[in-house]
Structure 1
């Protein structure tokens, strides 16, 4: 008789434990829990995992071997962005968030706070100043969730279903948003024009059924939207809300979306003092003006100043706690987790260190190096910009007429120790430039890609000559 497998790390794999849990919920088998998952998305085979390692030192050795398979790239040679960015992280940020009183993702109700509520309040205040908004939430899981929640808020506030997306958005973000809002919001994608919103088409689609217009600036391709004020006026004229997704790293030099008519601003704080660890430490923010219609639809936690019974003393606690899923439970507007509060403290430390002048200098540096990289790389044979928009940090190279495809250029860069960017398809390469990429780094990348293109062109020439002779 074959004995059932009981994992040494997971006690609930014991047959009696599994059966007790099934009986408690009235299920015949575990398969019932996955009935809604399409068959083509199921693995249908055991996971490729090693046998359980009983000794701790064996497990440490195994995990260490996995980690050694990762290849590190020098920050200056990394031109890969697409949602996770290699910005400089001051050492004091890591020092603060590794303190024992902060080192948890939880933002809930500890009996001993140790200043965590105050630290998050300071983060909210600094973000509010940067965004020029009054109210900023304790971080959500990531920027994708913040985007989806912003759209859901617009639907609840207006009582309408349609949201118009007028920018190029990250495809992974779109996937997350669609899943999140599917029951209540219809998302309509309006094609862009030369990298930015097609204002004429977008405004022509606005009517009393539209809940919101959604703008991403910078967009997935790094394009900066120049018509936000015009789009805002048109949206507000029909009672629609303006939702803007942005990266706060550029707001030391770029105009805050709120100043151009945005009602809800959302994004990710990964750029603010968070490392791109294996895909990034991500956390989302949502910001609104001090308007109860908007504030009371925010499902996230908010921390504010609270007076005490002792004159002159104050503390930090929840604001309008009764609107959250923590208070309302199954009656909540949407569920909110607490798995990113630590990153809010990290971003707060980063912003406090940088200050307004530091953020302005950083933004100017990134803008100038983005423009320089675009100019140098488009000097290569067959390489042009994919659009004519102004760009911050990222831009797309069109290599359709170049002797190498975008994936081939990525491979050539990697062979020389560079990550040249993300190949969107055979003809387009998304390149990212941060303050970590110096002018010399950009010149070195151009030299590497230029040499690869020249070699490919030379290899193609004999073949073309043979065709002509034939």
Structure 2
């Protein structure tokens, strides 16, 4: 078998690979994967095409792959489930593509005071939106941010249980569980009619609970309207209230911090970041100005600092000694790769929108969501999944039609009607980019399919 040596990657040369293995005392590359269970290994070579050495051939191959994609500008999309089609003002992209911001790694060189100021402004704008005092430089994504918020609660209380009161995206629940499973056990309390079941919650609440975890809006878009009651009960037994949220609605909704939340986490994808191929994602963690909570935050914080020159100020790390950069292996959590460039994008977005713009957007999202619910619920054979207040997303149930069949039929018409949750349930998402005419088109297409399906099955 001929060994392929990549023209731009010298480490693929056999002699280079052998030299590196000798330097670290390994017999083969396989030794580096000794900790990976056999069940997770592919056990075969990757199914890759023949290497394309010529750049023009590679470019043509990649263009062919990209040509199979369909964007939300080409198709009418009601897809959400964690990545949302919100409008991104052109100036956001213009700013983050500037050379002083755009870099190959993490969007963040380690000594760049202009970038530090831009991220300080982002933190300040997010703090105002969330009515919180301290917000971190963005983490990798919102899943990690929520996992870190729960881990913080575990360290602060010394307890080992988490009560999850809301519907959580399965992918998020999996990521959070994987992150905290060695120290915290998640106990799910099934929601009632979309939001937290307070009676079941109180039955399971005791002084062994480290954190009460609420997602609002939940995975199905339900807004938790009794957060203050939940927080009061949690605090009575010394538990910490951790809220996972999307900040898009807080121009009109009451922020969790004003309802008793101790740690607020989430993702900023909806604030000036595109969907792209699964989204540009970045996580935030927000806490009150309480030293106990601030010192448990593992991620970087940028603040305004005085210099040696009287009256002159700069921007830099705050309480750097908290982080694994300073603590190394003694750190409470590994800082990891930040998504700082997305923080700058969100900072530009929030500064453009301002309080009035965010309030208008929140009102529009609530109105569009309700309009879509009413249009679909008016169709015979379609009903809403619950009666809770919803922001942007909601579920509908079909009878006798199957949700997957609805998706297949409407996809043929250029409509992505939503995400299938089970045989009869579809998760539908609307944003400010979804017009009333778009919603009418969806409703008409669903109505036509359900009617034809009912006739076919003799209903």
| Global fold match (TM > 0.5) | yes
Determine if contact 1:108/1:338 at 8 Å carries over to the other structure: no
Cα drift, residue 227 of structure 1 = 1.5
SS of equivalent to 2:421: strand
Residues 298-351 of structure 1: per-residue CA shift (max 9 Å, x gap): 010000001112222211110001111111222211111234100000000000
Q: What is the alpha-carbon distance in structure 1 between the residues aligned to residue 100 and residue 411 of structure 2?
A: 41
TM-score by length of 2: 0.96
Q: Is the 8 A contact 2:108 2:340 kept in 1?
A: no
Structure 2 equivalent of residue 467 of structure 1: none
Q: Helix, strand or coil: the match of 1:287?
A: strand
Separation of aligned partners in 2, 1:443 and 1:91: 28
Unpaired stretches in structure 2, ≥5 consecutive residues = none
Residues 127-169 of structure 1 show CA distances to partners (whole Å, capped at 9, x for unaligned) of: 0000000000000000011011111111111111111111110
- Name the structure 1 match of 2:360: 361
Q: 2:249 touches 2:362 (CA, 8 Å); kept in 1?
A: yes
* Equivalent position SS for 1:18: helix
Which residue of the partner structure matches residue 234 of structure 1? 233
Question: Which position in structure 1 is the counterpart of 2:426?
Answer: 429
SS at match of 2:311: coil
Query: Are residues 316 and 415 of structure 1, via their aligned partners in 2, closer, same or farther at CA, if it must alter by over 3 Å?
Result: same
Is this contact kept in 2: 1:167–1:197, CA < 8 A?
yes
- The equivalent residue for 2:200 is 201
Contact 2:80 2:418 in 1 (8 A): yes
- 1:19 and 2:14 correspond: no
The residue aligned with 2:106 is 106
Equivalent positions of 1:50-199 (< 5 A) are 50-74=49-73, 77-104=76-103, 105-106=105-106, 109-111=109-111, 113=112, 115-199=114-198
Gaps of 5+ in 1: 465-470
1:295 and 1:114 map into 2 onto residues whose CA distance is 22
C-alpha contact 2:165 2:197 (8 A) present in aligned 1: yes
Hey, what's the Cα distance between the residues in 2 that align with 1:264 and 1:408? 41
Q: Structure 2 CA distance, aligned partners of 1:162 and 1:9? A: 50
* TM-superposed deviation, 1:281: 0.2
Q: How does 1:188-337 map to 2 (within 5 A)?
A: 188-337=187-336
Equivalent pair of 1:75/1:437 in contact (CA under 8 Å): no
Classify 1:107/1:134 alpha carbon distance in 2 versus 1 (closer, same or farther; 3 Å): farther
The offset of 1:30, in angstroms, is 2.7
Q: Does residue 449 of structure 2 align to residue 452 of structure 1? A: yes
Match in the other structure for 1:415 = 412
Instruction: Provide closer, same or farther for how the CA distance between residues 108 and 441 of structure 1 changes in structure 2, counting only shifts above 3 A.
Output: closer
- Partner Cα separation in structure 2 for residue 332 and residue 425 of structure 1: 42
Provide Cα deviations, 1:229-273, integer angstroms capped at 9, x if missing partner.
Answer: 111011111111000011000101111000000000000000000
Q: State which drifts further: 67-76 or 98-107.
A: 67-76
- In structure 2, the residue matched to 1:468 is none
**CA 1:256–1:419: 2 relative to 1, 3 Å:** same
1:5 CA displacement = 4.0
CA drift at 1:358: 0.4
Q: Is the CA contact 1:76–1:436 (under 8 Å) kept in the aligned structure 2?
A: no
Q: Distance in 1 between matches of 2:447 and 2:331?
A: 56
How well do the aligned residues superpose, as a CA RMSD in angstroms? 1.6
Counterpart secondary structure, 2:457: helix
Greater CA drift, 44-53 or 194-203: 44-53
1:175 & 1:110 partners in 2: Cα distance? 32
In 2, the alpha carbon distance for the partners of 1:459 and 1:165 equals 42
Q: What secondary structure sits across from 2:426 in the alignment?
A: strand
State the alpha-carbon separation in 2 of the partners of residues 206 and 27 from structure 1. 51
Task: Tell me: CA distance 1:223–1:162, structure 2 relative to 1, closer, same or farther (3 Å).
Answer: same
Conserved 8 A contact 1:76-1:438: no
Counterpart CA distance in 2 for 1:162 and 1:123 is: 33
Instruction: Report the TM-score, using the length of structure 1 for normalisation.
Output: 0.94
Question: Is the deviation greater in 45-54 or in 384-393?
Answer: 45-54
Q: C-alpha distance in 1, partners of 2:168/2:69?
A: 29
Check whether the contact 2:101–2:108 (CA below 8 A) recurs between aligned residues. Answer: no
**Stretch of structure 1 that moved more, 183-192 or 248-257:** 183-192
1:376-395 C-alpha deviation (Å, 9 max, x unpaired): 01111211111121111000
Q: How far did residue 75 of structure 1 move?
A: 7.5
Question: Distance in 2 between the 1:89 and 1:181 partners?
Answer: 34
Between Structure 1 and Structure 2, how many residues are aligned? 458
